[in-house]
Structure formats: C-alpha cells, structure tokens
Amino acid sequence: MLVKYEFLKIVRKKSTLIVMAVSLILTGFLFGLPIMQYQIYNQDGVIKGTKGIAYEKEQFADLSVPLSEEYVAETIREVQGLFENPDNIGTDGNEQFLVGDAYWNGIAPREKLLNLIADTYSSPNDRWGYNHLPDLDVKEGKPFYQAMKGKIQTLLDSPSRALSDEQKEYWGGMADKVDTPLQYGYYGGWEIIISSFELLMFALLAICIVTAPVFSGEYQAGTDAVILSAKYGKTRLTTAKIAASLLFGTAAFILHVVVACGLPLAAFGIDGWNLPLQIANTTVPYPYTFLQAVLINIGIIYLVLLAMIGLTLLLSAKMKSPYLVLIILVPILFIPMFLTPNGTTGIYNLLLFLMPYRSAMPEFDKYISYQFGGLVLDVITVRAVFYAILTVIMLTLARLGFKKHQVA
C-alpha cells in the first residue's frame, strides 16, 4: 500500500513526466542517429538509411558461414588472385588497394570480413585491412585460429599492459573458451548497440533527477514532520520510499532500454544475436554471443543505475533540497566522461574503469582485470560486484539518514 502511494507520488509529478519524455526522446534520437546517418557505397554511389541497411544485409547473405581454416585460406587466396592483376591495383602513395570491378565485386561485399581476417594476422599495434592479405603466404600455412591465439598472447605479453602471470593465465583461459570455427554473419544492429551503450547515461541521470526529491522533497514541502511522527514514518515508509524509487527506476530503465535497443534492432534486424563477439574483433576474449554481451552489459548498467539511485536517495535523505542532490550527482555521473584512461593497469585506470560513465562501456577487447592476491576478476565481474555492494551500502545509509532526520 505504502509502496503504491510512494510510486504515485513519483509518477504523478509533472516534472517526472517532462524529464522522462525528454530523456526518452533524447535516447531515441541518440540511438536512432546511426540509422538516419547510415550509408553504404556501391558502384552507383551512396545508399542511405534503411535502403543502405537492406543492401548491406543482402551482401552478407553469402557470408553466413563458419570461418573454417579452409574457408579463410580460400578467401585469402581469392584476394591475392585479384592483386595479381596490375590493372586491379591503385595506390595512395604508401599502400596498394584494389580498384574498379575488382574492388566493387571482389572486396566491397565482404570488406568487413576481409579486414577481420587481415587484422587477425597483424601485430597488436597495427591495424590491417584487406590490402595486407597479399603479404600472407598461405602455402606456408598460416592457420587463422593459431594467428588469433598468437595475437592475443602477444597482447597479453605486451610490457605496456603490465599484466601479472595470473592475469595472463586468466585471459588466456577465457579466450580458449571461445568456440571455433567462428560462425560469421550479419550483426549490424548489435554492433550499434554495443558501441552506443554509454549514451544510456542520460537515462540514468533522468532517473536520478526524478528520484532526487524522494526524501528531500518531504523536507522542502514540510511534510517530513507529519510522516516522521506517524507509526511507520521511520520504518516501513522509508522502505516503501526506497522500493518505489527502485521500482520506478527499473520501469524507466526498461523503457529506455526498449527504445535504445529496439530502434537499432528494428532497423538493422536481430540477425547476429547468436553469433560470437569475435567476428567483430578476433582479440575479444569473452566467449559471448552478441545477445549475451548486450544482456550482460545492460545488467551492468542496471546495477550502476541501482547504485546511483542509492546514492541519490542517500543525498536526498541528507540534504534539504533536491537541487543540492543534483549539484553533487551530476559531476559524479559525468566528470569521468572527460577523463581518458592512459592504459589498462594502475590505480587511476582501474578506478576510472569503475566510474559510472565508463562502466556503461563494455570494453570487451581491453583485457581490464583486477587482481586481489591470487584472485583475478575481469572488469565486468568487478563492476557487477562493486555496484551491487555500493547499492546495498547506499540504500542502508539512505534509510538511516531519513530515520535520523531532525525536523528543525
């Protein structure tokens, strides 16, 4: 009963409706932008928007295959064949490229796949495209999956990463769990979602804005004296306020996630949901499909949201005005946006990767791990544990804060 009324208190406010409407429109705009801006080229020129998406999916129709060693070797040989004809080759002064029909027919329809194969053979600091494929001697035997494993090992051994033996073992073990051969296919919608996750921070801010008055609004309105002098004012009511805030936060978050994921998936299709992350980048160690990766990261962002609601409620219980709550909260949410990591180890970087804004970014290919004695945990696990603990602490303190509030 109390939860119902507390929930009504939140949703009945005009400000709630305005903030949520603005936030949903903004989320829709930000996640819809890649659809509006999407463009792909063919021999006749540029194809934009949904027509471009349809064209790309058509190109991918023949590419939904397992990337077996034979398939990869054959693909490399085909590209090398195209490079054997000097008429097909153009140059920008430094590198050679295929031009004309050789490019439009032999490369363009599968350029993403060719770049993926080529880049798997590159050293960690290079970024290879299909034009490096002629450099590979397929006859000598250049097994694709051996190259993939080798590149991951080189990355782990890189002195700049400063990973401990335990951490290297952890990541190596995780990468070994990736099923091979990789199944290739179209994954456009999932790629957009994974690369745009941090844009959900605006939704988190909006939810915090709405929950900021949960306690402080009572102080500001002068209703605190009445409710705190009632039987359940310091006990069940506090729990109801917290529950209603979490309920509202969850409902609003689901709504935003539906918009954020729904738009790209409606436009690009759900194709690729069961394909491995490695078809976008072969050095990703997490053995997840695109759907699993998206769900896991949504789970992390949800935990960040819960902790931020907890922090908002704590500040709300301690401060006399919801505006003061936001003055503290906004920098916590958005200052990390302007801080750039300078590596993947060291206290600064490890803390930065746990900040709310950074936690919204999955960083699947960065090998960020935390070592506690002999125990190694990846950044996703640490974020989950960290924000779950933070939520419990914040909500407990918020509860105490309201209970001990003095009407003065």
Partner 1 sequence: MELQLQDLRKQYGEKCAVNNVSVNLAPGVYGLLGANGAGKTTLMRMICGVLKPTSGNIRLNGKTVEQLGEQYYTHLGYMPQDFGFYPDFTAREFMLYMAAVKGLDKRLAKKRTENLLHMVNLSDVADKKIKSYSGGMKQRLGIAQAELNSPSILILDEPTAGLDPKERVRFRNLISDFAKEKIVILSTHIVSDVSYIADTILMMKQGHFLLQEPMSTVTDSIRGKVWELLVDERTAAEYSRKFSVVNLHHENDMVRLRMIEETAPGEDAQMVEPGLEDLFLYYFGEEAGRQEER
Binding stretches for partner 1 (CB under 8 A):
1-2, 5, 8-9, 12-14, 220-233, 235, 237, 406-408
Minimal distance, residue 220 CB to partner 1, in Å: 8
Q: For the beta carbon of residue 289, count every other beta carbon within 10 angstroms.
A: 18
Adjacent-strand bridge partners of 289: 276
d(CA 173, CA 162): 18
Minimum CB distance to partner 1 smaller for 52 or for 233: 233
Minimum CB distance to partner 1 smaller for 1 or for 347: 1
d(CA 359, CA 197): 10
Minimal distance, residue 406 CB to partner 1, in Å: 5
Minimum CB distance to partner 1 smaller for 46 or for 221: 221
Minimum CB distance to partner 1 smaller for 120 or for 238: 238
Minimal distance, residue 12 CB to partner 1, in Å: 4
At position 249, the amino acid (one-letter code) is G
Minimum CB distance to partner 1 smaller for 228 or for 247: 228
Minimal distance, residue 204 CB to partner 1, in Å: 25
d(CA 280, CA 191): 8
Minimum CB distance to partner 1 smaller for 226 or for 389: 226
> How does strand 45-48 pair with strand 89-91?
unpaired
Q: Is 220 exposed, middle or buried (0-12, 13-18, 19+ CB in 10 A)?
A: middle
DSSP state of 184: P
Minimal distance, residue 7 CB to partner 1, in Å: 11
Structure tokens at 46: 């540029």
Minimum CB distance to partner 1 smaller for 284 or for 319: 319
Q: Three-class SS of residue 251?
A: helix
Minimal distance, residue 403 CB to partner 1, in Å: 11
Whether residue 188 contacts residue 269, with contact meaning beta carbons closer than 8 Å, is answered with yes
Residue 379: which of 220, 171, 178, 180 has the closest Cα?
171
d(CA 118, CA 188): 20
Minimal distance, residue 45 CB to partner 1, in Å: 55
